[in-house]
């Protein structure tokens, strides 16, 4: 079967179910650890130092950040029951949580942070159980806006560490090391090849540390004084059983960011499936749900340890594309190496000794890319005045509230200062505006039927009534009929081989949108992904097209867009049909 990117597929040497030689699996696991270690150690270091935490708590937090990341990385690969993706997904501290974690540590200490992380860990756990139910709330506009707000609220805090340095250091030492780090990362990322770009962040941190050494910013004493093997000092903060008003004020922000983290995990779980098989496969949303469940377990473990939460970090996909090894054994090896590394304080001290300006420069690049990912989310599938207004207003309200620029006296007293957090304020604005659109949109028409070709006349009558109420002509009725017939045929084809007693029910919803109609077909989960298969049609030679694939090709020409989502318990196929020019002005 041809693919849109045959080189990528052909480069897979070991698929998830295959067993590479142990030495190769260990080597690939080590590469994942080396690439991810900087963020695993530097992110909690920045958070704790920005909040004024003690060195004892920093050592405790770094130990558990590495250990929990190792446990969760192995869990993602091994997949125990419904927990874990069954793919190589590296876990590490969640950069999106930097801002809210700094605030929690500053206002209530590590015990408050632990309580908030434990509470927010239930968000991905619930989403993993009912992923399909959240598909309407987790819109690209809301998710993208909050993704843009994360760096906008975090960077002002992070930039405060740019001038960090020992007493007596030159005033130019911090700027020089920060600039050196960013220049190296940027130069490699802009001009380097695919392999070299993968190492750009690590090379930049090393270059910045080398520049910092002669300027007196790197602390070799920390490395020399650390033991080779050992445990951190006992500094468990416990969990705050009576959290008080600070907990109530920060919990919504933690929940919002946990939702965004779940979306990032979903995105990562989909992306890793694209690069892990020699022949293209439909996205298995059961694996996605498992990845989100493991994300929740990781956050729960992090909260019980009293540290900032974990989630997937973006080193797995490029590493697999580079090595061609997608075997689960590599992920399990990476997890085991991280757990072992947690007990080697001297190696961790080498990372902890990295100067603040170098760490800030590294995080600036990471968070800048997060902002770009948020923009991409908002504009995916096209941008219109509705999306633009929601994203623009929500973003700037969030920035204004975070920086006390919008009625600070009033917001300080409103709901315990709930809206002083930019992520909470901006996220709420995006949700309220989106819900307003939902409430004021044209009412959905719906019909429930058996998933069988015999119901086609009932569907045609339903769509004819829907088109008449919408003021559309017979041409639009024909388009709706054709789109619904091809979608029904495709869904029924996916049931080939099922017993009669297992035949599924179909819920068809139709709603009017500007310039056309949206049809939503909801049935039980199938084995193939319609959207994935349609993406391959352009590359299939006509002489090997099967009957079902011809239906997909027809549907692709009838509908302006088709989206297929699969979950443990149902299929959702969303088809948009543009109205003919003569019906465009119908309201």
pLDDT in tens, 49-63: 888 888 888 888 889
Structural domains of the chain, count: 2
Instruction: At 328, list the tokens.
Output: 């689960």
Tell the residue number behind the tokens 């983290």, with chain if given: 261
Q: Contact, 125 vs 296, CB < 8 A?
A: yes
Encoding tokens for residue 50?
A: 């920005």
- Quick one: pLDDT at residue 237? 76
Contact between 35 and 319 (Cβ < 8 Å)? yes
Reported confidence tier of residue 533, pLDDT bands at 50, 70, 90: very low
pLDDT tier, 354 (very low <50, low <70, confident <90, very high otherwise) = confident
Distance CA 177, CA 208 (A): 5
> From CA 436, how far away is CA 439, in angstroms rounded?
5
pLDDT reading at 72 higher than 90: yes
Q: What is the pLDDT of residue 500?
A: 47
**Percentage of the chain modeled with pLDDT above 70:** 78
Range of the structural domain that residue 341 is part of: 7-161+226-354
Residue 168 predicted with pLDDT over 70 = no
Could you give phi then psi for residue 93, rounded to 5 degrees? -55, 140
Q: How far is C-alpha 22 from the geometric centre of its chain's CA atoms? A: 31
At residue 542, does pLDDT exceed 60?
A: no
Are the beta carbons of 66 and 275 closer than 8 angstroms?
Answer: no
Average pLDDT over residues 338-367: 80
Looking at the fold, whether 346 and 474 belong to one and the same domain comes out as: no
Strands 445-450 and 91-93: unpaired
Low-confidence winner among 67-81, 133-147, 320-334 (lowest mean pLDDT):
133-147
Instruction: Please check whether residues 350 and 469 belong to one and the same domain.
Output: no
Which of 354, 380, 404 terminates a domain? The answer is: 354
Tell me what percent of the residues of the chain surpass a pLDDT of 90: 8
Residue 512 three-state SS: strand
> End of a domain among 314, 331, 354?
354
End residue of a domain, out of 314, 335, 354: 354
Domain annotation covers residue 401: no
pLDDT(456) > 80: yes
Whole-number Å distance between alpha carbons of 372 and 224 = 40
H helix or E strand, kind and range, residue 575: strand 571-578
Q: Give the per-residue pLDDT at 538.
A: 41
Number of helices and strands in the chain (H, E): 23, 7
- The mean pLDDT value for 514-523 works out to 82
pLDDT band at 295 (very low <50, low <70, confident <90, very high): very high
Residue 143 and residue 245 share a domain: yes
User: Which SS3 state, helix, strand or coil, does residue 260 take?
Assistant: helix
Instruction: Please state whether 442 falls in left (phi above 0), alpha (psi between -120 and 50) or beta.
Output: beta
- How far is C-alpha 208 from the chain's CA centre? 29
Residue 293 pLDDT: 92
Q: How far is residue 295's CA from residue 305's CA, in Å, rounded to a whole number?
A: 15
Task: Tell me phi and psi for residue 79, to 5 degrees.
Answer: 55, 95
State the pLDDT confidence band at 350, using cuts at 50, 70 and 90: confident
Q: 58: which 2 tokens?
A: 């920093």
The pLDDT of 370-392, averaged and rounded, is 78
| Shared domain check, 147 and 25 | yes
Q: Flag the least confident range among 3-12, 32-41, 428-437.
A: 3-12
Average pLDDT, the chain: 77
Closest CA to 156 of 405, 475, 355: 405
According to the model, what pLDDT value does residue 55 have? 83
Rounded to an integer, what distance in angstroms lies between the CA atom of residue 118 and that of residue 296?
9
Residue 138: CB partners within 8 Å, gap ≥ 6?
Answer: 259, 263
> In this structure, how many other beta carbons lie within 10 angstroms of the beta carbon of residue 280?
20
Helix (H, G, I), strand (E, B) or coil at 59: helix
* Domain membership flag for residue 410: no
Evaluate whether 158 touches 364 at the Cβ level (below 8 Å). Answer: yes
Sheet strands (E) in 13-73: none
Q: Taking 90 as the threshold, does the pLDDT of residue 302 lie above it?
A: yes
Through-space distance between the first and last CA atoms of the chain, rounded to whole angstroms: 45
Helix locations, 345-473, DSSP H? 345-352, 356-379, 385-402, 408-413, 422-440, 456-470
- Nearest one of 258, 293, 259, 286 to 270, comparing CA atoms: 286
How far is Cα 279 from Cα 75, in angstroms, rounded to an integer?
A: 25
Question: pTM for the complete prediction?
Answer: 0.65
- Residue 509 is assigned to a structural domain of this protein: yes
Q: What is the mean pLDDT of residues 429-441?
A: 80
Q: Residue 337 and residue 33: Cα distance in Å, rounded?
A: 7
Cross-strand pairs, 448: 507
Residue 57 belongs to some domain of the structure: yes
Mean pLDDT of 103-123: 89
Q: How far apart are CA 321 and CA 145, in angstroms?
A: 30
Q: What is the CATH number of the domain that holds 502?
A: 3.30.565.10
Decide if 553 is inside a domain. Answer: yes
- Give the confidence band of 567 by pLDDT, cuts at 50, 70, 90: low
Q: What is the rounded CA–CA span in Å between residue 513 and residue 517? A: 5
Looking at per-residue confidence, does 531 or 82 come out higher?
82
Mean pLDDT of 419-439: 78
Q: What are the tokens at 175?
A: 């700027």
Of the pLDDT bands very low, low, confident and very high (cuts 50, 70, 90), residue 194 is low
Is the domain of 29 the same as that of 143?
Answer: yes
321, pLDDT greater than 90: no
* Tokens linked to 374: 């948020």
pLDDT at 586: 47
Instruction: Please check whether residue 109 lies inside any domain of the structure.
Output: yes
Which residues does residue 510 pair with via DSSP β-bridges, in sequence order?
Answer: 445, 519
Q: 286 or 219, which is more confident?
A: 286
Residue at 496 is within a domain: yes
Beta bridge partners of 325: 14
pLDDT at 4: 40
Pairing of strands 445-450, 516-523: unpaired
Find the angle CA(52)-CA(58)-CA(64) to the nearest 5 degrees: 140
Q: How many angstroms separate the Cα of 9 from the Cα of each of 6, 277, 523?
A: 5, 6, 31
For residue 438, tell me if it sits in a domain. no
pLDDT at residue 372 greater than cutoff 50: yes
Instruction: Measure Cα distances from 73 to 285, 370, 402, 504 in Å.
Output: 19, 22, 34, 37
Does 68 score more than 90 pLDDT? yes
């Amino acid at each position: 079967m041809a693919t849109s990117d045959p080189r990528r597929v052909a480069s897979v040497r070991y698929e998830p179910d295959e067993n590479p030689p142990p030495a190769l699996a260990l080597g690939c696991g080590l590469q994942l650890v080396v690439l991810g270690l900087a963020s695993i150690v530097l992110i909690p270091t920045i958070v704790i130092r920005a909040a004024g935490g003690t060195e004892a708590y920093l050592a405790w937090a770094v130990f558990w950040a590495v250990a929990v990341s190792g446990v969760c990385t192995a869990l993602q690969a091994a997949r125990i029951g419904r927990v874990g993706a069954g793919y190589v997904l590296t876990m590490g501290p969640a950069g999106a949580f930097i801002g809210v974690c700094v605030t929690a540590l500053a206002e209530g200490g590590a015990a408050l942070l632990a309580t908030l992380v434990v509470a927010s860990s239930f968000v991905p756990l619930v989403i993993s159980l009912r992923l399909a139910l959240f598909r309407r709330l987790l819109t690209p506009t809301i998710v993208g806006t909050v993704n843009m707000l994360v760096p906008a609220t975090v960077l002002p805090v992070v930039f405060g560490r740019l001038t960090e340095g020992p007493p007596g250091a030159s005033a130019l030492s911090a700027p020089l090391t920060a600039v050196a780090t960013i220049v190296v990362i940027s130069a490699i990322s802009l001009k380097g090849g695919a392999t070299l770009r993968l190492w750009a962040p690590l090379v930049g941190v090393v270059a910045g540390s080398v520049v910092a050494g002669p300027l007196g910013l790197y602390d070799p004493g920390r490395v020399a004084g650390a033991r080779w093997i050992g445990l951190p000092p006992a500094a468990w903060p416990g969990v705050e059983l009576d959290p008080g008003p600070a907990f109530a004020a920060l919990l919504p922000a933690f929940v919002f960011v946990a939702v965004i983290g779940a979306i990032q995990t979903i995105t990562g779980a989909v992306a890793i499936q694209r690069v892990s098989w020699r022949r293209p496969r439909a996205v298995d949303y059961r694996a996605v749900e498992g990845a989100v469940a493991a994300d929740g377990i990781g956050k729960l473990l992090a909260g019980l340890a009293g540290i900032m939460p974990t989630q997937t970090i973006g080193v797995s996909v490029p590493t697999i594309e580079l090595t061609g090894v997608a075997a689960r054994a590599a992920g399990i090896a990476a997890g085991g190496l991280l757990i072992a590394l947690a007990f080697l304080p001297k190696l961790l001290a080498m990372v902890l000794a990295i100067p603040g300006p170098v760490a800030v420069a590294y995080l600036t690049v990471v968070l800048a890319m997060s902002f770009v990912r948020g923009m991409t989310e908002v504009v995916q599938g096209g941008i219109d005045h509705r999306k633009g207004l929601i994203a623009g207003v929500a973003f700037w309200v969030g920035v204004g509230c975070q920086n006390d620029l919008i009625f600070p006296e009033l917001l300080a007293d409103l709901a315990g200062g709930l809206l002083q957090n930019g992520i909470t304020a901006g996220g709420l604005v995006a949700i309220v505006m989106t819900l307003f659109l939902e409430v004021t949109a044209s009412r959905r028409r719906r019909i429930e039927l058996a998933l069988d070709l015999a119901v086609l006349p009932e569907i045609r009558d339903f769509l004819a009534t829907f088109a008449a109420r919408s003021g559309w002509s017979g041409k639009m009725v024909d388009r709706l009929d054709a789109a619904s017939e091809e979608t029904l045929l495709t869904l029924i084809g996916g049931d080939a081989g099922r017993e009669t007693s297992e035949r599924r029910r179909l819920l068809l919803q139709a709603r009017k949108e500007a310039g056309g109609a949206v049809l939503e077909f909801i049935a039980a989960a199938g084995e193939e992904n319609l959207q994935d298969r349609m993406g391959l049609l352009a590359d299939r030679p006509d002489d090997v097209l099967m009957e079902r694939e011809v239906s997909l090709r027809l549907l692709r020409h009838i509908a302006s867009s088709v989206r297929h989502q699969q979950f443990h318990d149902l299929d959702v196929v969303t088809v948009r049909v543009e109205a003919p020019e003569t019906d465009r002005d119908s309201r």
